[in-house]
Amino acid sequence: MKITEPISRVIGRTDFMPHLPSPQPSPQRRGSSCFRRTNHHINRFTSTASDQPVIAKPCSFSPGEKVRRRGSAAIIFTAALLLVVQLQAADAPALKPVTDPKPILAELQQKMSSLSSVYLEFTQERQLKLFAEPLKSEGVMMIDQPGMIRWETTAPFQSILLSNQKSVAQFEFADGKWKKLKLGFPQMLKRVMDQMTLMHQGKLDALTSDFTLSVSTGVVTVVTMVPKDENVRSMLAALEIHLQPDLSATREVIMREPGGDLTRIIFNREKRSVKFPEKTFDQTKPLDIATIKAAVNDAH
């Protein structure tokens, strides 16, 4: 269960309150007509129509009783908080760091090396602390041998990034037509694309010159890559690849920034060893995505 509600609302719900002690009314106040914390009060969320608490008038408590009542409230609040924290902890995937990541990385590389190609549909969520909701975009990533990659954003705008062993290209769709861009810093973009290709081919050992790699296992297998270069680290604190426990598919990639912002790329649909139509990776006039999707879907 994922808890995203404010704590005040969570505390107010009975399904999170079964272990909370019911405060007993103080003997000297028992029977008085003022409003007290009673079982009626605690159980107000499960009460029936006939089970109404009686609220006559506000109580006037002695200073000592006020302190005791504040103390009880604090205990209830702390207990509820602990319960919420426990629920969250129980919900979070229990991941255990692996002392020696080499065997898992080798297994990943071995599994991925048998693949000739991969097709992935993704949702990209940019989570900035400032925004209440993530900024979303959608797209498709395609990787084929030898070292070809196509990263296409399909919504809310259309853009294609293409890279092969020699070069990189970018196309933007605007005013009803595709336009090839005269890229600034193509080497930098190519490097990023090459790293993405290596990651998705499981060739993580090839990235060890740029990243420190660690692996955690559990509900998912997470490969965490921390950039070695301080300048890169000032922009990208860590990159996490979340895989199925059996390493059979990539679930998501998370790029964490030093300030707490992050980009999450969630892979919704994955097809492996796909035969892509001609010109899928063409850097002059790439094939449109609708035709590629149709070909990929027809093939399976």
Q: Which residues bind other proteins (CB under 8 A)?
A: 124, 126, 128, 130-132, 135, 156-157, 159, 161, 170, 172, 174-175, 181-185, 189, 192, 235-236, 255, 257, 259, 261, 263
Nearer Cβ to other proteins (55/181): 181
CB of 176 to other proteins, least distance (A): 12
CB 103 within 8 A of CB 228: no
CB of 249 to other proteins, least distance (A): 22
Nearer Cβ to other proteins (210/261): 261
Nearer Cβ to other proteins (89/132): 132
CB of 267 to other proteins, least distance (A): 15
Among 240, 242, 248, which Cα is nearest to 273's? 248
Give the residue carrying structure tokens 């989570």.
127
CB of 296 to other proteins, least distance (A): 24
Q: What is the DSSP code string of 63-127?
A: HHHHHHHHHHHHHHHHHHHHHHHHHHHHHS---EE-S--HHHHHHHHHHHHT-SEEEEEEEEEEE
- Which backbone phi and psi does 147 adopt, to 5 degrees? 65, 35
CB of 133 to other proteins, least distance (A): 9
- Give the Cβ contact number of residue 95 at 10 Å: 16
CB of 184 to other proteins, least distance (A): 3
Nearer Cβ to other proteins (175/246): 175
Distances from the Cα of 203 to the Cα of 161, 195, 214, angstroms: 21, 9, 14
For 57, the 3-state DSSP assignment is strand
CB of 255 to other proteins, least distance (A): 7
Distance CA(34)–CA(23), nearest Å, equals 16
Cβ neighbours for 73, distance < 8 A, ≥ 6 positions apart: none
Nearer Cβ to other proteins (215/254): 254
CB of 216 to other proteins, least distance (A): 23
Among 288, 269, 243, 266, which Cα is nearest to 118's? 269
Distance CA(218)–CA(226), nearest Å, equals 20
Among 6, 193, 156, which Cα is nearest to 81's? 6
177-180/211-217 β-pairing? unpaired
